């Protein structure tokens, strides 16, 4: 199941409060300014800075 547009519209990077965008396979949400990728597990975004990986 893909992430819904309504959810993506309200999600923000917890570090900089900027927008996050999904990668093509929607396995991570990417914050371009912070260069962090937040994982999506079982169609649930994990928006924790400690869980993010550098891009």
pLDDT, tens digit, for every residue of 4-55? 999 999 999 999 999 999 999 999 999 999 999 999 999 999 999 999 999 9
Residue 1 pLDDT more than 80?
Answer: no
What integer pLDDT is reported at residue 37 of this predicted model?
98
Domain ranges of the chain: 5-54
Number of residues assigned to the chain: 55
Rounded Cα distance, 53 and 41, in Å = 14
Give the pLDDT score at 11. 97
Name the band, by pLDDT with cuts 50, 70 and 90, for residue 2.
Answer: confident
Q: Does domain 5-54 have CATH number 2.20.25.10?
A: yes
Model pTM score: 0.92
Q: Closest by alpha carbon to 28, among 1, 6, 4, 3?
A: 3
């Amino acid at each position: 199941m893909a992430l819904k547009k309504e959810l993506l519209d309200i999600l923000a990077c917890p570090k900089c409060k900027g927008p996050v965008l999904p990668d093509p396979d929607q396995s991570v949400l990417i914050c371009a300014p912070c260069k962090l990728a937040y994982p999506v597990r079982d169609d649930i975004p994990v928006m924790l800075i400690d869980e993010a990986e550098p891009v």
